[in-house]
Structure 1
Amino acid sequence: MDKTVVSVIVITYNSSQYIGETLDSILNQTYQDIELIISDDCSTDNTISICENWIQKYSTRFRDIKIIAATRNAGIPANCNKGLAACNGDWIKLIAGDDILMEDCIASNLAFVRLQGNEDKLFVVSDMRSFLDWDYQAEEHVSAYNINIFGENIDVKEQYQESLKGFFGNSPTFFVHKKVYEITTYDESYPFMEDYPFVLNALKNGIKIHYLKQETVHYRIRNNSAYNGDSQLIFPNFYLRQRIFDKKERLPNLSFNERMLENTIYYKKMFFDKFKLNSRKKVNIFLYKYSDVLNPFYIYYRLKHIFE
């Protein structure tokens, strides 16, 4: 019998509308030895009571269940770290309180890290299926971005440099060994984002990231969320907050051309915001899409990738 304990940490904040689906997806995992941690960031709705009622029904399914409730809202990274502090598992799976694990998510990740000759795998990212909260029929496959960086001949330093250019994954698809969290945790200085800083810190500390080419998670895209913004906008306003992170963590480590490309994209968004061109009208979308032909750094970047 498999003795590997997997801790699933559910990160919640006002998740009452969706938390039942999320918990059911963990209940229905084909893998059995699971510790369930629910880490709540001071919800003001009835998320906690829903979780407590659910636990009363299904507590015997799990090795252990804990609810960690915050007394103040501290942000996503702090909420993740609270959950991590309560874990006893060998492998850790974080999921938001509105996403859904596929039934074989944990079993597939464990099988992948146990492949012969792959005992060094400590950090795995996989594919997922995204779906629109306002349109359940609009599911689509989402591969990890820039999968070329996961090749056997790519070392961790190359992964780090490529990851600086753009984030390759999505945190619900991560499957991480506890050894990684002994080296680095979630950076609470960026309360609005947890995954990208964590990835860069892991890579800087020599933790290579491996790719499981399989869908393991249903990822819910919610209208008016911090990341996705209003569906009526061309791009969400999250770019303003991410700029804080970019200026400190990314831009100083990019080449001149890469920095200029990032800056021109940022100021293009500011321009569209300032002149109220961010609404999803056909003319605005056309201007936003094709304005890049006037950007020499974008042209250089595209040509470089074509001829490399």
Structure 2
Amino acid sequence: MEQPLVTIVVVSYNHSRFIKENLDSIKNQTYKNIQLILGDDASPDHSVEVFEEWLKENNYPAEKNFHTQNTGLPTMLNECVELTKGKYIKMIAADDFLHPESIEKSVSALEHLGNEYGMSFSDTYAINNDSQIIQDIADYDAMGKVDPSIFKEDLLKGNRIAALTVLAKTEVIRETGKYDTQFIIEDYYRWLKISEKYLIAYIPEKLAYYRLHEENISKVKAEKIEKEAALLQMMFDKKGVAKSSINTAVEKFYFSGTELSEEYLTAYRAYPFHLKKLDFAIKKNLPIPLYKILKKIF
């Protein structure tokens, strides 16, 4: 098999403790035709020094995109895409790392599939801060091992892809536009845009190691992610595939008293499969018990 150039983008923010393990996993790939791009978003923990030390010790070439001011992940990724020379591209956070055969098996899958495929993803191990394998965070095997046309619909119901496992065609990343700075879940937005035009291949093997940190995600951030996921589903769902998850999410926000912006509500009302009675209740600010009664009646 030919070895087309693969670009691996490693992005860091306060990941100095894990950088060496990540870069070692790239150096130890069975696939060797790799362009390495390193990005750091002005980490205060000396991540850049760790990057530089590893490059020097291993005599390994890399493009560098080290910020002196924090800009956020989407801006960093967009800049790194501009530096990309490979036919394929993988983006990975510096606290995660790869199985030695990750690139080889991912490239092989895409090289043997047709042009209708835009990217591949795989199963992944979950690990703790000490790199010990822990309970899986999701059953990616069950979520991914379906017909690609069915997977298109499944993806509309929720993110089924661990970003660190993805290998995408660089031309597809560029074709589907820049990473959007308004979204926290910029990866899910990307997969939905790719899925509109291309099929997505699944490799039923654990080809990466995803770091689960001890600190829990904040309630505010978790709520924002949930809002964004429903909003993206509204944007991309043309057949009502995700209507249950969308309406359930909006109803949950209503029940919890979560404030929804007018922009968000406008998007919900424009979604052809929204619940009219829920929209009415939100508009009129109906008490929840009254809405539940109306829901039962109608």
TM-score by length of 1: 0.73
1:189/1:244 CA distance change after superposition, 3 Å: farther
Instruction: Work out whether 1:209 is the aligned partner of 2:200.
Output: yes
Instruction: Work out whether 1:4 is the aligned partner of 2:7.
Output: no
Over aligned residue pairs, what C-alpha RMSD do you find? 2.8
Distance in 2 (alpha carbons) for counterparts of 1:53 and 1:121: 38
Distance in 2 (alpha carbons) for counterparts of 1:184 and 1:217: 25
Structure 2 residues not aligned, in runs of 5+: 259-291, 293-298
Task: Give the structure 2 partner of residue 263 of structure 1.
Answer: 250
* C-alpha contact (below 8 Å) 2:145/2:202 kept by paired residues: no
1:185/1:13 CA distance change after superposition, 3 Å: farther
**Which of 106, 120, 126 does residue 130 from structure 1 map onto?**
126
Instruction: Work out whether 1:121 is the aligned partner of 2:127.
Output: no
Task: Give the structure 2 partner of residue 147 of structure 1.
Answer: 143
1:257/1:15 CA distance change after superposition, 3 Å: closer
Task: Give the structure 2 partner of residue 169 of structure 1.
Answer: 161
Task: Give the structure 2 partner of residue 179 of structure 1.
Answer: 171
Task: Give the structure 1 partner of residue 271 of structure 2.
Answer: none
Deviation digits for residues 267-301 of structure 1 (CA, Å, limit 9, x no counterpart): 56779xxxxxxxxxxxxxxxxxxxxxxxx9xxxxx
Structure 1 residues not aligned, in runs of 5+: 231-235, 272-295, 297-308
Q: CA deviation at 1:220?
A: 0.4
1:261/1:201 CA distance change after superposition, 3 Å: same
Distance in 2 (alpha carbons) for counterparts of 1:209 and 1:21: 29
1:196/1:146 CA distance change after superposition, 3 Å: farther
Q: CA deviation at 1:125?
A: 1.1
Distance in 2 (alpha carbons) for counterparts of 1:191 and 1:119: 29
Distance in 2 (alpha carbons) for counterparts of 1:256 and 1:216: 33
Q: CA deviation at 1:74?
A: 1.8
Q: CA deviation at 1:148?
A: 6.1
1:104/1:69 CA distance change after superposition, 3 Å: same
Equivalent residues in 2 for 1:1-308 (5 A)? 2-60=2-60, 64-115=61-112, 118=114, 120-133=116-129, 136-140=132-136, 142-144=138-140, 147=143, 150-152=146-148, 154=149, 159-204=151-196, 206-224=197-215, 228-229=216-217, 236-246=219-229, 248-251=231-234, 253=237, 254=240, 256-266=243-253
Amino acid at match of 2:233: R
Equivalenced residue count is 255
Distance in 2 (alpha carbons) for counterparts of 1:135 and 1:83: 27
Distance in 2 (alpha carbons) for counterparts of 1:202 and 1:44: 34
Q: CA deviation at 1:58?
A: 1.8
Distance in 1 (alpha carbons) for counterparts of 2:45 and 2:144: 43
Amino acid at match of 2:129: D
Amino acid at match of 1:181: I
Deviation digits for residues 210-260 of structure 1 (CA, Å, limit 9, x no counterpart): 111111100001122xxx527xxxxx5433212442453223645654432
Runs of 4+ in structure 1 displaced over 6 angstroms?
268-271
1:47/1:31 CA distance change after superposition, 3 Å: same
* C-alpha contact (below 8 Å) 2:131/2:211 kept by paired residues: no
Distance in 1 (alpha carbons) for counterparts of 2:220 and 2:213: 15
1:258/1:270 CA distance change after superposition, 3 Å: same
SS at match of 1:127: strand
1:209/1:42 CA distance change after superposition, 3 Å: same
